[in-house]
Amino acid sequence: MQRFKCFLAARRSLHCNYAHFRTISALPNYATVNEIEDDVLVEGKAYSRSSILNRPDSLNALTTPMVARLNRLYESWEENPDIGFVLMKNNGRAFSSGSDVVSLYNNLCNGNVEDSKVFFQTLYKFVYLLGTYFKPHVAILNGLTFGAGAGISFPGMFRVVTDKTVFATPEAQIGFHPDAGASFYLSRLPGYLGEYLALTGEKLNGVEMVACGLATHYSLKERLPMIDERLSKLMTDDTTVIENSLAQYGDLVYLDETSVLKKIKSIDKCFSQDTVEEILEALKKEAIESHSEWSTTALKKLKEASPLSLKVTLQSIREGRYQALDLCLAREYRMSCNWISKQVSNDFSEGVRARLVDKDFAPKWDPPTLRDVSKDMVDCHFAPLPEVEPELNLNTAVREPSL
């Protein structure tokens, strides 16, 4: 209890320091209060609160106002002694398709880099908030859970997936890097599965997510109302009681024989290589020797991705394996800011244009080949920001990572 009181006192002082910052940057003037509240709904129960992502027409793609609202809600719920635990859910067929990259693309096209930086700041701060959250958290990941959609849910205590859940980190396919904590959680998957998922953007279903540790519970979509009803009646913050309640309506998972997780030894053999070029050569050899569909598909995915993204992403995952969550987020923020500055390449804007705006699916990557991507180009994305630009400021002195 004493720890909790000290924690709240420190948090209140931080609120005073950041109040003005939130007013001018976390709530852009193009978003009204009603729009913000509509995009993230709130549901209150006797001893819990739920945030509900509510942009179904946009697959719950995350915007700055949405994530800023999540930050404010979660901070207030954490301090409220009448709230025992918190949930995150969604409306529509997607939990979240990730960051609203089309909005980021439009910002960059209009020369508005600062708004994009504010988005990354707000997003990564929420990921850290959830990763250090004082209360039990339950994320119901029903539907598409891509990129930053995973980032805003995976750091929590419980992650429930369904037969409709699909996870992926497809950022390399649009000329970016897996972010929002991806270099932390992907690097901690079994073997070199994280490198495989990050570089190929390959999808996992709910069963596979439980099998590899990305999710804690699996349930058929039809049982979600029963889980919801059960949790709404709980009057406790006891994690064991919450876990048992989730397990009560859960299902055992059995990997399909065609699952890529059945190929984990081959994945390790190929994706444990030191460079992207060596990974490609190992995949080519694997495809010839085993005639396996997974290796052929992986080769195709790698050839479609931005060469620069592949090299930056591989280094990010490898560094993340030895870093705590706060260090991963600080590095990812540096990478994202350096990326959108376009000092090295315009691949992010080009990838979004080709796949999501014009939809010609023919991005013109620059550099065009792995051979053209120099070590200096890769290192540039990991370099400290200029002195005039602040690094990501996480409250590490107050919030201690539990991950």
In the prediction, which pLDDT does 10 show?
A: 40
Return the number of other C-beta atoms located less than 10 Å from residue 212's C-beta: 21
Reading the chain (403 residues) residue by residue, the pLDDT tens digits are 433 434 444 443 333 333 322 323 334 445 555 666 789 999 999 899 999 999 999 999 999 999 999 999 999 999 999 999 999 999 999 999 999 999 999 999 998 899 999 999 999 999 999 999 999 999 999 999 999 999 999 999 999 999 999 999 999 999 999 999 999 999 999 999 999 999 999 999 999 999 999 999 999 999 999 999 999 999 999 999 999 999 998 888 889 989 999 999 999 999 999 999 999 999 999 999 988 889 999 999 999 999 999 999 999 999 999 999 999 999 999 999 999 988 889 999 999 999 999 999 999 999 999 999 999 999 999 999 888 888 898 877 777 655 4
User: What residues have CB less than 8 Å from 334, skipping those under 6 apart?
Assistant: 381, 382, 383, 384, 385, 391, 392
In the prediction, which pLDDT does 343 show?
A: 85
Pairing of strands 166-168, 217-218: unpaired
Q: In terms of Cα–Cα distance, which of 138, 114, 129, 144 is closest to 68?
A: 129
Return the number of other C-beta atoms located less than 10 Å from residue 261's C-beta: 16
Asked if residues 403 and 320 have their Cβ atoms less than 8 Å apart, the reply is: no
In the prediction, which pLDDT does 37 show?
A: 72
Q: Which residue has the tokens 């060469």?
A: 307
User: What residues have CB less than 8 Å from 146, skipping those under 6 apart?
Assistant: 94, 96, 97, 98, 166, 167, 168, 169, 170
Tell me the pTM: 0.88
Q: Which residue has the tokens 């993230």?
A: 40
Task: Tell me the two tokens of residue 211.
Answer: 């099998």
In the prediction, which pLDDT does 28 show?
A: 45
Q: Does residue 136 sit in helix, strand or coil? A: coil
Task: Tell me the two tokens of residue 343.
Answer: 């000092």
Is residue 126 classed exposed, middle or buried when 0-12, 13-18 and 19+ CB atoms within 10 A define those classes?
A: buried
In the prediction, which pLDDT does 33 show?
A: 59
